[in-house]
């Protein structure tokens, strides 16, 4: 297992290096000049050139790339062009808000999603199954930012209902978490429900499940111990992928609900051509995906004895 983890970590480092390199190139070709953006239209040519030199933008792209890689290896993501704050410090400061939103949204999605999927698989093609899968298809089809805007209009700023706060963080009250949490949780809930149903239907038709039923085991034991346990692999993959995506930054939802997380920082950085912050957020996203994928690979071994690390 140790050799597998080492190989996986080396492979992950290559992926992170590729992401860092691609992000650097893409930010370098963005239209606009960060120095001009910072000084505004009234900045004269001399001031702009002086600021470009101070930011290191006067160097050639290979030189800038080499300097950036050296800093990244040392754990230095640079300083924000817009705020002059340390990028890593800013990301660390905003991570708890995004983590809270991602964790609560995934709890909302995972538990009901698995429950709905299991119930639907036990009653395939029934009115309950058809209704649940139709609603889940609707949840998958609607983008989260559209759901967020609709929730704001219906429950926070509409003429009929005015129940929920439209923006803010939990330091003002936990009710501020409800709308963004539900908005984020609807789509993964729908996908988890459909994946669970599909995986359970495949497992319920296996011989060992029929054997367990023939032995007279209770329906709960058959479903939970023999069926659901063996159907968990695709469910775990789906949950981990969505959790990584939410944890990496819920961009549009944080913007809609003014949630002070990483997504809000990223959108502001793009608007201001803040190269170090953009690169830092993308690097953080890549690291989150890599680490979660590694943990999931290790988790498969404990969930399914047939899986071997090689």
User: What is the C-alpha to C-alpha distance for residues 95 and 97, in angstroms, rounded to an integer?
Assistant: 6
Question: Is residue 43 pLDDT above 80, yes or no?
Answer: no
CB neighbours of 59 closer than 8 A, spacing ≥ 6?
67
CB neighbours of 79 closer than 8 A, spacing ≥ 6?
85, 86, 87, 276
Q: How many distinct structural domains can be found in the chain?
A: 2
Domain boundary (20, 46, 73) is at 73
DSSP 123-149: STTSHHHHHHHHHHHHHHHS-HHHHHH
The residue behind tokens 């439209």 is: 166
Question: Is residue 309 pLDDT above 60, yes or no?
Answer: no
Q: How confident is the model at residue 305 (pLDDT cuts 50, 70, 90)?
A: low
State the burial class of residue 298 (Cβ atoms within 10 Å of its Cβ: 0-12, 13-18, 19+). middle
**Within-domain flag for 309:** no
Q: Are residues 65 and 123 in the same domain?
A: no
Q: Are residues 27 and 127 in the same domain?
A: no
167-185 mean pLDDT: 83
pLDDT of residue 220: 82
Q: Are residues 179 and 267 in the same domain?
A: yes
Q: Are residues 61 and 118 in the same domain?
A: no
Q: Are residues 57 and 118 in the same domain?
A: no
Question: Is residue 166 pLDDT above 80, yes or no?
Answer: no
Q: Are residues 159 and 293 in the same domain?
A: yes
pLDDT of residue 159: 57
**Within-domain flag for 168:** yes
pLDDT of residue 192: 94
What does the chain come to in residues?
A: 310
Domain with 126 in it: what CATH number?
A: 1.10.3720.10
**145-160 tens-digit pLDDT:** 888 888 888 876 665 5
**278-294 tens-digit pLDDT:** 999 999 988 888 888 88
**73-91 tens-digit pLDDT:** 888 888 888 888 899 999 9
Domain interval for residue 255: 91-303
Q: Are residues 286 and 202 in the same domain?
A: yes
**105-145 tens-digit pLDDT:** 999 999 999 999 999 998 888 899 999 999 999 999 888 88
Quote the pTM value. Answer: 0.83
pLDDT of residue 131: 92
Q: Are residues 46 and 116 in the same domain?
A: no
Two structure tokens written together for 155: 């429950």
User: Among 175, 186, 112, 113, which Cα is nearest to 146's?
Assistant: 186
Q: Are residues 24 and 106 in the same domain?
A: no
CB neighbours of 136 closer than 8 A, spacing ≥ 6?
116, 189, 190, 191, 193, 194
pLDDT of residue 106: 92
Q: Are residues 109 and 14 in the same domain?
A: no
Q: How confident is the model at residue 227 (pLDDT cuts 50, 70, 90)?
A: confident
**Within-domain flag for 63:** yes
Instruction: Return the DSSP state at 172.
Output: G
For the chain, the average pLDDT equals 84
Question: Is residue 255 pLDDT above 90, yes or no?
Answer: no
Q: Are residues 48 and 185 in the same domain?
A: no
pLDDT of residue 103: 92
Q: Are residues 213 and 97 in the same domain?
A: yes
56-76 mean pLDDT: 86
**Within-domain flag for 308:** no
Domain boundary (42, 73, 104) is at 73
């Amino acid at each position: 297992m140790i050799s597998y983890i080492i190989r996986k970590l080396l492979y992950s480092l290559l992926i992170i290096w590729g992401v860092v390199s691609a992000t650097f190139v893409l930010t370098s070709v963005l239209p606009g000049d960060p120095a001009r953006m910072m000084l505004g239209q009234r900045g004269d040519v001399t001031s702009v050139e002086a600021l470009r030199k101070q930011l290191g933008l006067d160097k050639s792209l290979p030189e800038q790339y080499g300097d950036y890689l050296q800093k990244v290896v040392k754990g230095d993501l640079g300083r924000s062009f817009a705020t002059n704050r340390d990028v890593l410090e800013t990301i660390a400061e905003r991570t708890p808000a995004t983590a809270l939103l991602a964790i609560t949204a995934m709890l909302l999605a995972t538990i009901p999603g698995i429950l709905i999927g299991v119930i639907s698989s036990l009653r395939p093609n029934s009115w309950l199954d058809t209704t649940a899968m139709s609603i889940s298809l609707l949840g998958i089809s609607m983008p989260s930012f559209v759901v967020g805007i609709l929730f704001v209009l219906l429950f926070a700023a509409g003429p009929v209902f005015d129940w929920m706060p439209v923006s803010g963080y939990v330091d003002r009250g936990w009710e501020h978490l409800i709308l963004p949490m539900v908005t984020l949780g609807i789509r993964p809930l729908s996908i988890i429900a459909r994946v669970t149903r599909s995986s359970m239907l495949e497992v319920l038709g296996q011989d060992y499940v029929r054997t367990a039923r023939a032995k007279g085991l209770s329906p709960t034991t058959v479903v939970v111990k023999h069926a659901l346990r063996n159907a968990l692999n695709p469910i775990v993959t789906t949950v981990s992928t969505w959790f990584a995506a939410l944890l990496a930054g819920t961009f549009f939802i944080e913007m809609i609900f003014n949630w002070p997380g990483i997504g809000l920082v990223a959108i502001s950085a793009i608007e201001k051509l803040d190269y170090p912050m953009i690169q830092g957020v993308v690097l953080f996203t890549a690291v989150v995906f890599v680490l979660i994928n590694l943990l999931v690979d290790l988790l498969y071994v404990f969930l399914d004895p047939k899986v071997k690390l090689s």
